């Protein structure tokens, strides 16, 4: 039966724009900026690319429907290009499409590129989730915003595990402080500054208990990867990064919304991680994984992800956070590039931005934020509200 | 180097809804209708499906962004589902995603499903192409509608090849008469009636020389396929259909818009077909192909497609049309199910609707519209205006 794509596909190049308020740049400009870096990094020419996967969530503020915008922006005539969209996991899906195509034998070398001009959506204005996920998506509670939904996760988490609001707020603050401390060393990060505990705790409230510094950046940006048949990868560079597992899982709603789901975990993430660990041959994730980029759209999301991914025990991730387990010099450094929190979150690009950092860290090329000799990295990219979501987990190593 | 997916993937089931004005049905209802048929046809259960690809173009009138709507509608918890969108070729892209995933070794059995509630878009109101392809897509001439764009193709084609407007209109009418004659035998067709030459020639003008009967239906509908590893296919049915080639190509604009392109051909289609013929090992398409479903959004589009696909010589397709070469009893029956013209065109579903007919014809199960023992079929699915488009060509056989 199906034996997976493990070790069939390598990443031989990555590129990522500066994330932030890129008002001066159009979608095409962002694509070109990421493309230039990925091509230089892979050391290939346009003619070497045989197909591409393009991730973009909000076509209405990018350059329109279909995959033609990529062909036009990058001037790649007659190239097969496919647009994928899976909300906040769109960038990971671009890589997944390219990876399957290479593993299938259809192509040797493919481009995956994700891009989003998120500032132009007015998304920072906190639309209802039902609107953000399509015009009045009928599966999302009317009136629910992203911060509102994740705030409920936080209050319920505190309640279930007997954490006082004061303790809880400090744990969440510690998560964001760590991400900003990492991201300040990252010239591409959107919100490149350190924050103090006092700043985090006294910040304007967005949706209680989530304050301003519990929420990720709303950013413009693009990121890209060149993937290649694993057996050809060393023709291009001495240090390709191999994909060990690439899985997605989607909630069908009913197993969470209409059952006894208490909002303190994301079952889709656990299912997806189990599949990825199986594909990668990982039996003890807490011991075997050396660095992570997880989907920290909100501080509480990162906390819960650590439990969903079987790194921390249920209800205990806060101890790991406070112990510095996820710090840059901890056991499993998490968000070494600053994460969604500090690096920013241009929706179609974020999954590939995570992979960019994993790739650089595994190659030992992460500069000032380099962690100590990682061998196995993991990215975790979530789309949608926890009750109706999709998760991508990618595991890679040198 | 890459050896393609030829003979690695089989279609073991297909489903297609009745196309038409399905005001009483939501997107979920259409998905369920197509899913029910495809599952019964494949003889599998939900638990056998390992991943899915979902094609939907206009998320704003369907059930929202991302691939979660499919999971929710069909109740497929934790299934990996990816949304693809490539304008009018969206349905073909769903099949391509599923096919690559199976060929890659990631999965044994996958679902591809495309769906569109097109009537709800008001798309029949002929928006500018620049709006239809995204909010003010900046690569399309402002003010240009789909009929307007293809009308220019027709006038230029007549002029280039010395065809009088009267002769030209008769050729185009003959194309639509043939499609309606086929489609009247198809209980799932939207516009299920025969038309006469007088009706076609005297129809209300949409964009000269294209009258009402030169334009395809604006329809709601869904279609689906179950694809499977080729070596397992006969475990499910004695007559699986094998994918011999599956290619896409995208215009990057500049090679057509800014050069000496005269509007009478679609170079992307020729490039894509050449790739598909090479993958399938076809050297004489006019001799080897036994049936076709091509993208006849307008009658002129079908005429030009026959030349782009190397079936008719440049400027000569009209002779083949008038000779009955593409009739149901001709050398290469084209649009045996009625085509976009008569069957209708729910954007996300159309590519899979074409494959549905090819599959049924190759199996000898097309009922009243069965053609004589076809061995090799071809589908040709175009997205976008010819100057900025994408083409999918799929070749399949028993």
Task: Please name which of A350, A352, A280, A276 lies closest in space to residue A52, comparing C-alpha atoms.
Answer: A352
Q: Is it the case that residue A337 has pLDDT exceeding 70? A: yes
Determine whether the interchain pair A248/B390 forms a contact, defined as Cβ–Cβ distance below 8 Å.
no
Q: What distance in Å separates the CA atoms of residue A315 and residue A318, rounded to the nearest whole number?
A: 7
Quick one: B108 and B224 in the same domain? yes
Whether residues B106 and B198 fall in one domain: no
pLDDT at B3: 81
A316: left (phi over 0), alpha (psi -120 to 50) or beta: alpha
Structure tokens given for B155: 């006038």
Least confident of A143-157, B162-176, B288-302: A143-157
Residue A48 DSSP one-character state: G
In a domain, A330, yes or no: yes
Q: Across residues B169-187, what is the average pLDDT?
A: 98
- Residue A191 predicted with pLDDT over 80: yes
Contact B121, A16 (CB under 8 A): no
A48 touches chain B (CB under 8 A): no
Residue A115 has pLDDT above 50, yes or no: yes
Question: Are A43 and A174 members of one domain?
Answer: no
CA proximity to B381, closest of B397, B398, B370, B394: B394
Average pLDDT, chain B: 92
Mean pLDDT across A276-294: 97
pLDDT of residue A11: 98
Residues of A acting as catalytic residues = 88, 345
Could you tell me the pLDDT band of residue B131, with boundaries at 50, 70 and 90?
A: low
Residue that terminates a domain, selected from B235, B263, B286: B235
Kindly state whether residue A162 falls inside one of the protein's structural domains. yes
Is a pLDDT exceeding 50 seen at residue B125? no
Q: What is the pLDDT of residue A220?
A: 95
The verdict on residue A273 lying in a domain is: yes
Same structural domain, A84 and A174: no
pLDDT digits (tens, 9 = 90+) for A59-104: 766 667 788 889 989 999 899 999 999 999 999 999 999 999 999 9
Among A208, A235, A262, where does a domain finish?
A235
Distance between CA atoms of residues A203 and B254, nearest Å: 50
Average pLDDT over residues A199-226: 96
CB of A233 within 8 Å of a chain B CB? The answer is no
Residue A42 tokens, joined: 């892979």
Q: Do the chains contact at A82 and B80, CB–CB below 8 Å?
A: no
Using a pLDDT cut of 70, give the percent of chain A over it.
92
* B13 has a pLDDT exceeding 50: yes
Distance CA A161, CA A157 (A): 6
Structure tokens at A276: 């990825």
The average pLDDT across B331-345 equals 98
Contact A387, A372 (CB under 8 A): no
Q: Under an 8 A CB cutoff, do A133 and B65 touch?
A: yes
Q: Say what the pLDDT of residue A143 is.
A: 72
- A 129-148 residues with CB below 8 A of B? 130, 132-135, 137-139
pLDDT at residue B143 is higher than 80: no
Q: What is the per-residue pLDDT for B67?
A: 84
Give domain status of residue A39, yes or no: yes
Name residues whose C-beta falls within 8 Å of residue B230's C-beta, 6 or more positions apart in sequence: B7, B8, B9, B10, B240, B242
Looking at the structure, do residues A69 and A116 belong to the same domain, yes or no?
yes
Tell me the CATH number at B294: 3.40.47.10
Helix (H) or strand (E) holding B52: strand B51-55
Interchain proximity B85–A65, CB inside 8 Å: yes
**pTM for the full predicted model:** 0.96
Is residue B139 over pLDDT 60? no
Task: Please state the rounded mean pLDDT for residues B91-113.
Answer: 97
Whether the per-residue pLDDT at A121 is higher than 80: the answer is: no
* Optimal mutation site among B2, B81, B274, B276, interface A, most CBs of chain A within 10 A: B2
Hey, how many other C-beta atoms are within 10 angstroms of the C-beta on B105? 20
A83 and B78 within 8 Å at the Cβ level: the answer is no
Q: Residue A35: pLDDT band by 50, 70, 90 thresholds?
A: very high
Q: Given A172, A204, A235, which residue is the final one in a domain?
A: A235
pLDDT at A139: 54
Residue in chain A closest to B385 (alpha carbons) equals: A68
Q: A103 vs B105: CB contact, 8 Å cut-off?
A: yes
Query: Among this protein's residues, is B394 annotated catalytic?
Result: no
pLDDT band at A380 (very low <50, low <70, confident <90, very high): very high
* A74 and A21 part of one domain: yes
The number of folded domains in chain B is: 2
Task: Classify residue A234 by its DSSP letter.
Answer: G
Q: What confidence tens digit (pLDDT) does each residue in A66-75 have?
A: 888 899 899 9
A34 shares its domain with A169: no
Residue B85 lies in a domain: yes
Average pLDDT for A8-22: 97
Residue A1 inside a domain? The answer is no
**Amino acid A3: pLDDT:** 81
Same domain, B101 and B203: no
Question: Which residue segment(s) compose the domain that B202 sits in?
Answer: 143-216+243-397
Tens of pLDDT, residues B208-253: 999 999 999 899 999 999 999 999 999 999 999 999 999 999 988 7
**ipTM > 0.90 for the complex:** yes
Q: Is residue A4 part of a domain?
A: no
Do residues A112 and A196 share a domain? no
Look at A83-87, B66-70, B377-381 and tell me which has the smallest mean pLDDT: B66-70
Within the 4-43 window of chain A, which residues sit less than 8 Å (CB to CB) from chain B? 4-5, 8
Specify whether A226 is located in the same domain as A268.
no
A386 touches B: beta carbon within 8 Å: no
Whether A2 maps to a domain, the answer reads: no
- A306 with A200, same domain? yes
Answer whether residue A237 shows pLDDT above 60. yes
Q: Which of A274, A202, A280 is nearest to A245 (CA)?
A: A280
Tell whether A82 and A135 lie within a shared domain: no
Q: Which residues does B331 contact at the CB level (< 8 Å), separation at least 6?
A: B286, B325
Q: Over the stretch B302-324, which tens digit does the pLDDT of each residue have?
A: 999 999 999 999 999 999 999 99
- Output the pLDDT for position A132: 59
Which of A8, A66, A255 has the CB atom closest to B133's CB atom? A66
Q: Residue B108: pLDDT above 70?
A: yes
């Amino acid at each position: 039966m199906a034996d997976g794509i493990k070790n069939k596909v390598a990443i031989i190049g990555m590129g990522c724009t500066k994330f932030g308020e890129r008002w001066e740049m159009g979608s095409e400009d962002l694509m070109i900026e990421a493309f230039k870096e990925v091509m230089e990094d892979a050391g290939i020419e346009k003619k070497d690319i045989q197909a591409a996967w393009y991730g973009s969530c909000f076509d209405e503020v990018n350059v329109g429907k279909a995959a033609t915008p990529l062909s036009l922006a990058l001037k790649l005539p007659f190239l097969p290009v496919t647009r994928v969209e899976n909300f906040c996991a769109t960038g990971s899906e671009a890589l997944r499409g390219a990876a399957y195509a290479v593993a299938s034998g259809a192509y040797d070398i493919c481009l995956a590129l994700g891009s989003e001009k998120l500032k132009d959506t007015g998304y920072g204005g906190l639309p209802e989730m039902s609107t953000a996920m399509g015009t009045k998506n009928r599966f999302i509670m009317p009136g629910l915003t992203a911060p509102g939904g994740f705030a409920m996760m936080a209050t319920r988490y505190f309640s279930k595990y007997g954490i006082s609001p004061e303790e809880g707020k400090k744990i969440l603050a510690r998560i964001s402080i760590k991400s900003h401390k990492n991201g300040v060393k990252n010239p591409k990060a959107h919100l490149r500054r350190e924050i103090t505990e006092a700043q985090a705790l006294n910040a304007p409230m967005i949706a209680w208990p989530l304050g301003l510094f519990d929420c990720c950046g709303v950013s413009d940006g693009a990121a890209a990867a060149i993937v290649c048949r694993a057996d050809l990868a060393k023709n291009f560079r001495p240090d390709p990064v191999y994909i060990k597992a690439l899985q997605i899982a989607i909630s069908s709603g009913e197993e969470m919304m209409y059952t006894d789901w208490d909002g303190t975990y994301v079952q889709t993430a656990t299912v997806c991680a189990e599949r990825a660990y199986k594909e990668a041959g990982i039996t003890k994730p807490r011991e075997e994984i050396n660095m992570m980029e997880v989907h920290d759209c909100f501080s509480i999301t990162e906390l819960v992800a650590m439990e969903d991914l079987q790194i921390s025990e249920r209800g205990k991730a806060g101890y790991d956070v406070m112990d510095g387990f996820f710090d840059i010099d901890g056991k499993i450094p998490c968000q070494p590039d600053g994460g969604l929190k500090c690096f920013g979150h241009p929706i179609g690009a974020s999954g590939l931005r995570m992979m960019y950092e994993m790739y650089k860290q595994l190659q030992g090329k992460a500069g000032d934020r380099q962690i100590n000799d990682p061998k196995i990295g993991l990215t975790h990219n979530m789309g949608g509200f926890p009750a109706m979501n999709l998760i991508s987990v990618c595991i890679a190593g040198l």
